[in-house]
Amino acid sequence: MDITLHTLPNGIRLVHMPTTSAVAHCGIIINAGSRDELPEEHGVAHFIEHMLFKGTTHRKSYHILSRLEDVGGELNAYTTKEETAIHASFLKEHYQRAVELMADLLFSSTFPPAEIEKEKEVVIEEINSYLDNPAEYIFDEFEEMVFPDQPIGRSILGMPATVKSITADSIRRFISRNYSTSQMVLCSVGAISPTKIIALFEKYFGKIPQGNGIKRNRTEYFYTPVNKEKKADTWQNHCIIGNIAYDLHDKRRMGLFMLNNILGGQGMNSRLNLSLREKRGYAYNVESVYNPYTDTGLVTIYFGTDSRNLNKSIALIHSEIDRLRRQPLGTLQLSRAKNQIKGYLARAYENHESLMLSLGKSLLIFDRIDSMDETFRKIDAVTGSELMETADAIFDKSSLSTLIYRQNGERT
């Protein structure tokens, strides 16, 4: 893999992979997210993502939005529990325009008070929209239930009351405390030479003062399984079953990714999809998701169904989980599981925007970039006995938590 790495004296790192495509992608990823908020700051990490587009010392909001749009490019951003990112896609000849703009947004934003007040209403509407979608909101409530009174369990968007309390000073305090230059990576995938991308990197990011270098502390989590039901005005019943899981640095993570994919991953041939949807028609959407974090992780199984099939669906899920714990994969099944994961990874590699962000996150979290061959070797090294041990630990019924949204009027 032809990768260029470069580190500035202030600690900001660069990872670049050249392509021959007419379209290029670059982004800046910061190792700071909603889990780094103080209780009274709930929602500020996501709010900052919005405010970065609202004015800098060089540009007003309209000029920020138009800078790449005028040349057919796209500027975007996102916030997770552990990271914030600004990223762009554009024609390769506009590299300088994109890199300069991202540096301007990240280091020269002014957070105008009038824009803050206006954006509070926008974010509160975003929260309300989310609350209107039980298939999405149930994931947030499940994490809050599993990680009570812990930053990792709080929703990314915040709550209306905490969003209303955000000020320019609280924004700057969060940035000062968490936006360390040693915890930033500029990532790039596009048709530009290493010499030129390094020159742009040094020009627009090299004069930034070195940050405080503080890394996120690992947290010890205390988990107690919880089972909860609540009434909801919905057309379906919604259910999540899950457990805490391995963190990003756990060597068993690859095996759990494989198990998660076998159980309810993106393939239509996942065991849960075959059992609930294809064979019985109980659910339109059933999925399993594994989210690893710095110091913990979470596995969740979600489905929506009508009242007649809710308990039957839950019983089928526990049956499939138990099968993973008790029946080892045969040689052919294990080979198919590995090949499926490899295929998904190879396809994702062809999505250059996704690849750009993946390279940046890998360097930010692990301080290394694994080639596809190295990743494939890790997949091949997973054994059937490892998968059974992982399934037995993660999917032990006594360790699982369950959250159900029942249709109003239905008996619990």
Contact between residue 192 and residue 22 where contact means Cβ atoms under 8 Å apart: no
Q: Same domain, yes or no, for 303 and 160?
A: no
53: CATH: 3.30.830.10
Q: Same domain, yes or no, for 195 and 241?
A: no
What tens digit of pLDDT does each residue of 282-316 get?
Answer: 999 999 999 999 999 999 999 999 999 999 999 99
> Domain for residue 214, yes or no?
no
Q: How many domains does the chain have?
A: 2
Percent of the chain at pLDDT exceeding 90 = 93
> Domain for residue 94, yes or no?
yes
pLDDT averages per 10-residue partition of the chain, 412 residues:
94 97 98 95 97 96 95 97 98 98 97 96 95 92 94 95 97 95 97 98 96 77 93 92 96 96 92 96 96 96 96 97 94 95 93 96 95 95 95 96 86 44
Helix (H, G, I), strand (E, B) or coil at 32: coil
> Domain for residue 116, yes or no?
yes
Q: Same domain, yes or no, for 198 and 249?
A: no
Q: Same domain, yes or no, for 30 and 143?
A: yes
SS3 content of the chain, % helix, strand, coil (to 5): 50, 20, 30
> Domain for residue 106, yes or no?
yes
- Structure confidence at residue 222 (pLDDT): 85
Q: Same domain, yes or no, for 248 and 191?
A: no
> How many CB atoms are located within 10 Å of the residue 397 CB?
12
What tens digit of pLDDT does each residue of 139-160 get?
Answer: 999 999 999 989 999 999 999 9
Which residues on neighbouring strands pair with residue 186, listed in sequence order?
Answer: 14, 28
- Structure confidence at residue 213 (pLDDT): 63
Whether pTM exceeds 0.95: no
Q: Which of 370, 292, 300, 290 is nearest to 142 (CA)?
A: 300
Domain membership of residue 392 as a residue range: 227-407
Burial of 342 (0-12, 13-18, 19+ CB in 10 A): middle
- Structure confidence at residue 9 (pLDDT): 96
Contact between residue 263 and residue 288 where contact means Cβ atoms under 8 Å apart: yes
- Structure confidence at residue 266 (pLDDT): 87
